[in-house]
Each structure stands twice: as C-alpha cells, then as structure tokens.
Amino acid sequence: MPTLYHAPNSRSSRVIAQLMLMGKLDAVDVVIVEIVKHDGSGRRDPNNAHPEGKVPYLVTDEGEHIRESAAIMMYLDELFGQPLSPRPGQPGRGSYLTWMAYSGGVMEPALVAHFSGIDHPALVGTFRTMVEVGAQLEVGLEGKGFLLGDSLSVADLLMASAFQWAPHLMPEIPTVKAWVQRVSDALDNDGLQSFESEALSGLEAA
C-alpha cells in the first residue's frame, strides 16, 4: 500500500479529496504529520519522510519517493486506473498535462509573490502575475464546465484548490468563481472536514 504523508488543512488536503473522490482513501496508508506553518507555528515532524518536512509526500509500493502535489496526484490517478484524467492519445491529454505543470510551475510562484507583496521584474518576467493566471483560467474555461470539458479531472482539483483555501486570492472573474464553486460542489466536503478534524484531534492527543 502506498504511504501518503498528510498534514490537515494543507496542500496535501487536495490529495485526500482526490482519494475520497476516487473511493480509494482506504487503499492508501495516510500518515498524519505536523508541519511548520508560515507563522512559524508547528514543527518539523520526525515521522514525515519528506526530505524537507513538507507535505504532500508519497512513498510507493516499490519504495519510490514522490514529492510535489501534481506528481503525486497524477501518480495516484494512474495507479487507480486513471478515473480522473485522459489517457495518452485521448482528447484533452495535452491540456491536462499543461494545467498540471502550470499549477506548480507558474500559478504557485505567482500566487506566493502576490500574497507576499513581492513585485520583482525577474519574478514577473518569469512567471507573470495573478492577472495573467486569471486570464488563462478564463480562456481555458470558455464554454466548459471544467478545465478539460464537461467532466472534472485532477487538473481541476489541483488548480481550484488554491482558491478553495484562499478565496481572497481568487481572480474577480465570474467564470473562474463559478468553476471553483463547481469543483467544490463535486467534492465530499463533509467527509473531508470530518477526516481533517479527526486528523487534527489525533495530532493534538499525541
């Protein structure tokens, strides 16, 4: 069974949401760990196998170690029969890969620069800003319910998660806001919330 290192209410929560959606939460050993938060609270958990103490982190049955949300989410989707992404050669595959890479390669740096209040020419030159991210999402969602068309994919889970946890960073674009809501509606929010509460209680009791 793969092992997922997870901290409640963090970037690894989107992996839990994905596993719930696929009905595969029981097929993964979830190790709940603490992390150091931006405000300095928390701690680096010795139980976390991630070399920098981050989450999410996945160790596969073959003993491979996978870091970065996009890689972990793609791996789990593929491991469980690819219910949430187009296979190679299928329509939407290129778009899927694009959004998965764009999430960590462009959106995350732009998002962090935005909420940190950093406006440096090198950052803007390399990643652009949240204005361009919003515009890309608006174009990508034109005439579609989800990023790849009518059905939800891992790309939606990954890309929308940033705005689910930080609604104040959501672009003021009706199409984008409606899509984030659609993605939220597709998730088992009650299930996720009770999983996270239980995980938090476990950490507090330890």
Instruction: Using CB under 6 A, count the residues that bind ligand GSH.
Output: 12
Shortest reach from residue 131's CB to ligand GSH, in Å: 21
Shortest reach from residue 196's CB to ligand GSH, in Å: 13
Return d(Cα 143, Cα 138) in angstroms, integer. Answer: 10
Return d(Cα 147, Cα 159) in angstroms, integer. Answer: 9
Return d(Cα 121, Cα 115) in angstroms, integer. Answer: 16
Cβ closer to ligand GSH: 40 or 81? 40
Q: Which residue has its beta carbon closest to ligand GSH?
A: 54
Query: 3-state secondary structure string, 99-162?
Result: HHHHHHHHHHHHHHHHHHCCCCHHHHHHHCCHHHHHHHHHHHCCCCCECCECCCCHHHHHHHHH
The footprint of ligand GSH on residues 44-73 (CB under 6 A) is: 53-56, 68-69
Cβ closer to ligand GSH: 48 or 85? 48
Cβ closer to ligand GSH: 97 or 173? 97
The footprint of ligand GSH on residues 104-143 (CB under 6 A) is: 104, 108
Token code pair at residue 25? 């939460």
Residue 14 binds to ligand GSH (criterion: CB under 6 A): no
Cβ closer to ligand GSH: 70 or 148? 70
Return d(Cα 145, Cα 64) in angstroms, integer. Answer: 35
Interface with ligand GSH (CB under 6 A): 10-11, 35-36, 53-56, 68-69, 104, 108
